[in-house]
Amino acid sequence: MTQSTTMSTTTTTTALALAVLLLPAGALVASQEGADAALVAKARAVHERIFTVDSHVDILGPTYATPALDPGKPTRLKCDLPKMKAGGLDGVFLAVFTSQRPDFTPAGYRAARAEAIDRFDAIDRLAAMHPELCELARTPADTERIEKSGKRVILVGVENGYPMGDNVATLKTFYDRGARYVTLVHGSHNQLADSSGEAEPKHNGLSELGKRAVAEMNRLGIIVDTSHASARAFWDVIAVTRAPIMASHSGCAAVTKSDRNLDDEQLRALAKNGGVIQIVALGSYLKEDSPERAEAIGKLRRELGRGERGRRPGGGQPSQPLTPDQQAEREKMFAVYRQRMEEIDRQFPGATLKDFVDHIDHAVKVAGVDHVGIGTDFDGGGGIKGFNDHSEALNVTVELLRRGYTEDQIGKIWGGNLLRVWREVDRVAGK
Ligand SMILES: [Zn+2]
């Protein structure tokens, strides 16, 4: 769900930093603003030394990485290359997302595969359009080399195993196109696993095909992603995987009750597995909406026609390329949605950066600091006050510093843990 755009704290703090420079040194001590400016300066210095990555960002529509929507320039997207740079974010996993259809036939799989290939192509276009700004990474070593070069690191995850069809060999095609994780399932059940989004199970966890897919991902060096999977599917993955796993964009159920969040038992299992939970920045998973807020959002979504809670008003991305007229219509609908959401945010405030960091705190307390990371779901519904796009990534670090996290711990959370998981997955695969 889209949240209102707030005034960039980065802008505010830059102004503060300037003010601080003009003050006599002693004036800093008593000033809260001065303390904030010192924390921001420290956060910026930390970001220069650590590797920072967001494990889950969606790409928008068929015009992504064309002159019509060029993430190399400032855009309306929450993730573009200038915003990443401004927020001190080094890398991002872009999602090859396909919407789930209740069609488990060769024709259905073929259509989903075509949709996935379009998204792989779009990510390749981004890298080809801006070779001086970003580069696609295929290994942890690639990732570190690109980060050191000062370019943004582009990584690929596949969200929804549906386009795999009934043939695990398709996973090799995804791997060859750059995919380094696959989210087994999305908002409804597929051929591999049960989704957390449906009440009645289909497989009671992982299907037999799903178990074979996990084994094939272990063999290839693809991280298994259990975000969106039902609890039973999660436990099946834990039982069969030979490598650490990841929840690429999830929260903690003990903090906010949601079928998308992991309970403490799952967090402890993830730690034992050597894996990582990447905390999501999507408001409704971070803080329960007040009845008034929930009602206002529900009413707006109904008015605009479609879409489940927790995703964009369009209910995901169109499965067919849109005509220019349809695209314009869609853009208009999003503009209305964003504007009306700003009104709702003003009237009934939703989750903030503090709620987001509360989930990090809880996951660290239960799973340990070696098993927590960040996966925003920007441009797929993520975005909260204080961390509404990548230009505000530094705010997260400021809040972590304020709560007493050390640079070493922040480095783990912002990317070190995910790189460790990836390396271990590669080691298991014999790479
Ligand atoms: Zn998702």
Q: If you measure from the C-alpha of residue 5 to the centroid of ligand 1, how many angstroms do you get, rounded to a whole number?
A: 21
pLDDT, residue 310, reads 46
DSSP 68-121: TB-TTS--SSS--HHHHHHHT--EEEEEEE----S--SHHHHHHHHHHHHHHHH
Q: If you measure from the C-alpha of residue 307 to the centroid of ligand 1, how many angstroms do you get, rounded to a whole number?
A: 14
Q: If you measure from the C-alpha of residue 117 to the centroid of ligand 1, how many angstroms do you get, rounded to a whole number?
A: 18
Q: If you measure from the C-alpha of residue 56 to the centroid of ligand 1, how many angstroms do you get, rounded to a whole number?
A: 8
The pLDDT tens digits for 247-302 are 999 999 999 999 999 999 999 999 999 999 999 999 999 999 889 998 998 899 88
Q: If you measure from the C-alpha of residue 369 to the centroid of ligand 1, how many angstroms do you get, rounded to a whole number?
A: 23
Q: If you measure from the C-alpha of residue 249 to the centroid of ligand 1, how many angstroms do you get, rounded to a whole number?
A: 7
Q: If you measure from the C-alpha of residue 228 to the centroid of ligand 1, how many angstroms do you get, rounded to a whole number?
A: 7
pLDDT, residue 332, reads 83
pLDDT, residue 316, reads 45
pLDDT, residue 322, reads 65
Whether the model clears a pTM of 0.75, i.e. scores above it, the answer is yes
DSSP 303-365: HT----TTS-TTSS--SSPPPHHHHHHHHHHHHHHHHHHHHHHHHS---BHHHHHHHHHHHHH
Q: If you measure from the C-alpha of residue 260 to the centroid of ligand 1, how many angstroms do you get, rounded to a whole number?
A: 9
Q: If you measure from the C-alpha of residue 29 to the centroid of ligand 1, how many angstroms do you get, rounded to a whole number?
A: 44
Helix (H), strand (E), coil (C) string for 242-295: CCCCEEEEECECCCCCCCCCECHHHHHHHHHHCCEEEECCCHHHHCCCCHHHHH
Q: If you measure from the C-alpha of residue 19 to the centroid of ligand 1, how many angstroms do you get, rounded to a whole number?
A: 41
Q: If you measure from the C-alpha of residue 404 to the centroid of ligand 1, how many angstroms do you get, rounded to a whole number?
A: 30
pLDDT, residue 71, reads 98
pLDDT, residue 324, reads 73
Q: Which two tokens stand for residue 298?
A: 């529900």
Q: If you measure from the C-alpha of residue 41 to the centroid of ligand 1, how many angstroms do you get, rounded to a whole number?
A: 33
Give, in order, the Cα–Cα distances in Å from 238 to each of 24, 174, 365: 57, 23, 21
Q: If you measure from the C-alpha of residue 22 to the centroid of ligand 1, how many angstroms do you get, rounded to a whole number?
A: 46
Q: If you measure from the C-alpha of residue 339 to the centroid of ligand 1, how many angstroms do you get, rounded to a whole number?
A: 23
Q: If you measure from the C-alpha of residue 187 to the centroid of ligand 1, how many angstroms do you get, rounded to a whole number?
A: 8
Measured torsion, CA atoms of residues 43, 44, 46, 48, in degrees rounded to the nearest 10 = 170
pLDDT, residue 255, reads 98
The pLDDT tens digits for 356-406 are 999 999 999 999 999 999 999 999 999 999 999 999 999 999 999 999 999
Low-confidence ranges of the chain (pLDDT < 50): 1-30, 310-319
Q: If you measure from the C-alpha of residue 20 to the centroid of ligand 1, how many angstroms do you get, rounded to a whole number?
A: 41
pLDDT, residue 334, reads 80
Q: If you measure from the C-alpha of residue 52 to the centroid of ligand 1, how many angstroms do you get, rounded to a whole number?
A: 20
pLDDT, residue 304, reads 87
SS3 165: coil
Q: If you measure from the C-alpha of residue 185 to the centroid of ligand 1, how many angstroms do you get, rounded to a whole number?
A: 9
pLDDT, residue 60, reads 83
